[in-house]
Amino acid sequence: MKGKHYLLTAIAICMVSIAAATAVLPQDILGTWKYLISDVPPEYESGFFTFEQKENKTVGYSGDTEKEELKELTVDQGKVTFTIENQAGVFKYSFAQTGDTLTGIVSSQYGDFPIKAVRQGKK
């Protein structure tokens, strides 16, 4: 009986360790990401997102020269969501993160558009 208990405990520890190793943590999003949105006019199809750690909180910005703060930013278990509001409307971004790639959808009053972002190397 003790043998089964030890075996089950060992399996449980392995499962938790594997899950912890593959989980995407908020600090895994930090850095600059270049994005490409499909099926939109050329002036809107590419740009940059920057994610930083400030006061123990993950914050984000859109743009490289004129930075616009990302609202309602959440990073949880490989999912990244945020909203950008500007004169053109409200844009809701929803991504799944796999390593250095974010893939997802931008939702707006104009429709839903596929988006992909790739982390840029350190400058």
Residue 44 lies in a domain: yes
- Domain-located, residue 45: yes
pLDDT for residue 30 is more than 60: yes
Of 91, 90, 72, the residue nearest 82 (C-alpha): 72
- For position 5, what pLDDT does the model report? 47
Cα 63 from Cα 81, distance rounded (Å): 17
Tell me, what's the pLDDT at 44? 86
Domain housing 40:
24-119
Per-residue model confidence (pLDDT) at position 9: 53
In the predicted structure, residue 88 carries a pLDDT above the cut 90 = no
**pLDDT tens for residues 11-28?**
556 454 444 444 445 568
CATH code of the domain covering residue 62 = 2.40.128.20
Confirm whether 48 is domain-assigned: yes
Q: Residue 1 falls within a domain, yes or no? A: no
Inside any domain, residue 18: no
The total of structural domains in the chain comes to 1
Task: Answer whether residue 91 is part of any domain.
Answer: yes
115 against 121, higher pLDDT: 115
pLDDT score, position 28: 86
| pTM of the entire predicted model | 0.75
Per-residue exposure over 45-77, b if at least 16 CB sit within 10 Å of its own CB, e if not? eeebbbbeeeeeebebbbeeeeeeebeebebee
Residue 121 has what pLDDT?
80
Compute CA distances 8 → 2, 15, 16, 19, 115, whole Å.
10, 11, 12, 17, 43
Is residue 19 in some structural domain?
Answer: no
Residue 94 lies in a domain: yes
In three-state secondary structure terms, 66 is coil
Q: What is the pLDDT of residue 8?
A: 46
DSSP string, 78-94: TEEEEEEEETTEEEEEE
